[in-house]
Structure 1
Amino acid sequence: MTNPTTGDNLARLRRAAKLTQEQLAERAALSVETVRKLEQNKPGSARLETLHAFARALSVPTTVLIGDASEAAARDEPDHRPLSLAEIRRAVAPVHGLTGAVLAAPVGDPPPVDTLRTRLRAADRAYQANDYATALTALPPLLLDVRAAVDLADGDDEPAAYALLARTLHLTGNLLIQLRAGDLAQTALTDALTAARRCGDQVVAATVIQGLCWLLMRQGRLAEAAQLGVSTADHVEPRFSRATPGELAAWGWLLMGAAAAHARDNRPDDAAELVDAAAAAAVRIGERDPGGEHLMMVGGFNAGRVQMARVEAAAVAGDPGRVLTLAEVVPPGPTPVGSSWQRHRLDVAWAYAARRQFVESETILTDLGRLAPAWLRHQRYARDIVQTIDEGRRRAMTDDLAALADLVGYRN
């Protein structure tokens, strides 16, 4: 007996609710063709955002809709992937010989740890600036050198070496998530967590867990993402009276990751509660810089980023008016974590498009296309917004919209 697919689950729950396909489509604010394609298990129809819309319409958690996707995997449905992953694959999942030695390992001693830290900061700056080609070039040799440094470290040098390995693998995992190489990202982040445990730094470990939460959401594993974020946050919850900014920020990021998973699983009250707790951490940090050596996620946590999480939850809930109201008090960007700001602007663009304010939506997308073309190319969310604008306009595409459609891979 085969496992039910997502389309099978949707059809079953729709019939239990005594709804026709047309009625469900109307409730979910989607086309009836989307319902039909999904229930017929046609390729490309089981997007997470689409499932969340159906979950809201049926008053069920999104996760109960998600079914077996082996057929889609067998079809190898294509993603736009302009950058080669061959070198980073060798560094993340190196081949070991019979003796345990790594094939194609660096020859000679690795550079000093301080030099490796400098190279990691440079790769992180490239990633945050959406220069994925540079980051993808820099990370494989860096990761091989850091692994070699770990192998040589002993005694008091081991914690610092393992912390550096954890951060390097974390950045690598984040980049691979952006490039939609989920399985390889999971390998990188799992190894990053192992290294973080070896270094004994809870802030490093907590930021890696946040990366894993993000990956789980991308995989549609919403309940697991929320559980992982909440349980880790409970474990590392700082004492506000004496916590460092880094500890508070790492905790806040975990809460916001869990909140994002709850929002997508149609649990808005749970999401709001977690975001409120994260806001308290941001207030406690105040003007202090939580970044320092931890790079990436920790340095981008502040009250403005928490407000973006509120905007995101409103967008996931399908409330464009609330998105635009909440977005009014988000500080102007870009922010240190570039992808966070860019995702926020997509939420605002979605809200304008949903209210048929297509000029405003197109303006935001055009700005993102100029600022972060490599990032935008990988955003299916952007493709959906372009489709909404195209289908809602009565006139032919403008040149700017046509260029955006080409960038994000939308074909009308």
Structure 2
Amino acid sequence: MSDPTIGQKLKRHRKTAKLTQEQLAERAQVSVEIVRKLEQGTRRSARMDTLHALARALGVATTALIGDATEAAARAEPDHRPLSLAGIRRAIAPVRGLDGALLTAPAGDPPTLDTLAGRLRTVDRTYQRNDYATALAELPPLLADVQAAVDVTPDRERPAAYALLARTQHLTGNLLIQLRAGDLAQTALSGALDAARASGDQVVAATVIQGMTWLLMRQGRLAEAAELAVHTADQVEPRFSRATPGQLAAWGWLLVGAAAAYARDNQPGTATDLVDAAQAAAVRIGERAPEPGHLMMVGGFDPGRVQMARVENAAVAGDPGRVLDLAQLVPPGPTPVGSSWQRHRLDVAWAYAQRRQYQESTGVLLELRSLAPAWLRQQRYARDVVETIVDGRRRAMSDEEAELASLVGCPL
């Protein structure tokens, strides 16, 4: 027997609360059509922010509303031509024979670890620029070369090789999360964690866990995401007097990830406490000289990123006024971790739209379209904001607004 659907769980909790569909929609500030379609089964999925708003209105954990959405998972995303994932699939799940050898291994000797690290830095910068097509083209051969290097590296250098493999697979997992290829992302991140453990590098391992936390939240597994992030943060909590910037950043990212999960699971007090703790780590990093060679998550943690987390939690709580107030304290971007800045700006666009400041909201979205079109088209959040603008505007859409709606897959 299959698990109850989201709609079935929603209906049960609504009846327990003795609310009509209209009353629930009003409390949650969502369309009554969303409530009706979910309960009728004509709509089998909803954005996490919508489920969170419904959970707040019902006084239950968001996870109490998450049910079977297998039919919804089979539905296509907006009809943009998908980037091919065949090459990256072969790279993260290569075919091996009975003896464990790769069916098709790179010819010749692999490049040196220094050369491979340089290539990884280049791909990381490409990813942070939101050039996903180039990153997808460059990652498969890099993954193959790094794996080949691990296989031939002398024992004394093997930990460094495994750390490089972990970082490469971590970046691959992050990219796949952005492209909503969740199963492939899980494969990449699981491989990254195995390699990180083999390297003995706790900072690398902790940043991989932060990526896994992000993936779990995308999958609606909020309680697991929070538990994983907090448990790992407890394991790696640094002594501030001796900690390196990398150790502080890895710990801080875990706290921010846990806060995001708790906020979405209707536990704002816990989320606030975790962000406050992350702030202390960010301030301490600011007092220390950064280590050279940072990649990905470790290099992008600072007080500005923590302030973005406060803004995000205010958006999750449905408070547009607080979002705009807190956003004034975020330093101007973009930031080294591009997706963090872009997600923050979506929160600002959402807040403007909720306050019927449609021109300001559109301006933020057009800024994002110019900066990161490949990223923006993957964001369901952006589609929801555009739909709010389209539904609320009383005049005809401009050409720019129509192009924006087309980019994010919003029906006109």
TM-score (normalizing by structure 1): 0.98
Displacement of 1:43 in angstroms is 4.0
Quick check: 1:290–1:298 contact (8 Å CA) kept in 2? Answer: no
The aligned amino acid for 1:41 is G
**Following superposition of structure 1 onto structure 2, how do residues 247-326 of structure 1 map, counting pairs within 5 Å?**
247-288=247-288, 290=290, 292-326=292-326
Quick check: 1:292–1:299 contact (8 Å CA) kept in 2? Answer: no
**Following superposition of structure 1 onto structure 2, how do residues 5-404 of structure 1 map, counting pairs within 5 Å?**
5-43=5-43, 45-73=45-73, 75-78=74-77, 80=80, 82-288=82-288, 290=290, 292-404=292-404
Quick check: 1:204–1:294 contact (8 Å CA) kept in 2? Answer: no
Displacement of 1:37 in angstroms is 1.0
1 CA distance for matches of 2:384 and 2:120?
Answer: 34
- C-alpha deviations, 1:127-162, integer Å up to 9, x for none? 001111111111000000000000111321100100
Quick check: 1:167–1:294 contact (8 Å CA) kept in 2? Answer: no
Moved more, 95-104 or 238-247: 95-104
The aligned amino acid for 2:77 is P
Moved more, 209-218 or 38-47: 38-47
Quick check: 2:209–2:229 contact (8 Å CA) kept in 1? Answer: yes
Quick check: 2:275–2:310 contact (8 Å CA) kept in 1? Answer: yes
2 CA distance for matches of 1:141 and 1:306?
Answer: 35
Displacement of 1:287 in angstroms is 4.8
TM-score (normalizing by structure 2): 0.98
- C-alpha deviations, 1:226-282, integer Å up to 9, x for none? 000000000000000110111001000000000000000010000000000000001
Quick check: 1:81–1:179 contact (8 Å CA) kept in 2? Answer: no
2 CA distance for matches of 1:57 and 1:81?
Answer: 38
Counterpart in the other structure of 1:406: 406
Quick check: 1:291–1:300 contact (8 Å CA) kept in 2? Answer: no
2 CA distance for matches of 1:291 and 1:215?
Answer: 27
List gaps (5 residues or longer) in structure 1.
Answer: none
2 CA distance for matches of 1:137 and 1:372?
Answer: 18
SS at the partner of 1:334?
A: coil
The aligned amino acid for 1:121 is R
The aligned amino acid for 1:112 is T
2 CA distance for matches of 1:350 and 1:93?
Answer: 38
Quick check: 1:38–1:45 contact (8 Å CA) kept in 2? Answer: yes
Displacement of 1:294 in angstroms is 3.7
SS at the partner of 1:292?
A: coil
Q: 1:81 to 1:215 in 2, by over 3 A?
A: farther
1 CA distance for matches of 2:111 and 2:331?
Answer: 40
Displacement of 1:193 in angstroms is 0.4
2 CA distance for matches of 1:270 and 1:42?
Answer: 35
- C-alpha deviations, 1:181-240, integer Å up to 9, x for none? 000000000010000001001100000000000000000000000000000000000000
Displacement of 1:44 in angstroms is 5.5
The aligned amino acid for 1:312 is E
Displacement of 1:322 in angstroms is 0.2
The aligned amino acid for 2:400 is D
Quick check: 1:123–1:135 contact (8 Å CA) kept in 2? Answer: yes
Q: 1:326 to 1:291 in 2, by over 3 A?
A: farther
1 CA distance for matches of 2:205 and 2:285?
Answer: 20
2 CA distance for matches of 1:56 and 1:290?
Answer: 41
List gaps (5 residues or longer) in structure 2.
Answer: none
- C-alpha deviations, 1:380-406, integer Å up to 9, x for none? 100000000000010111111111001
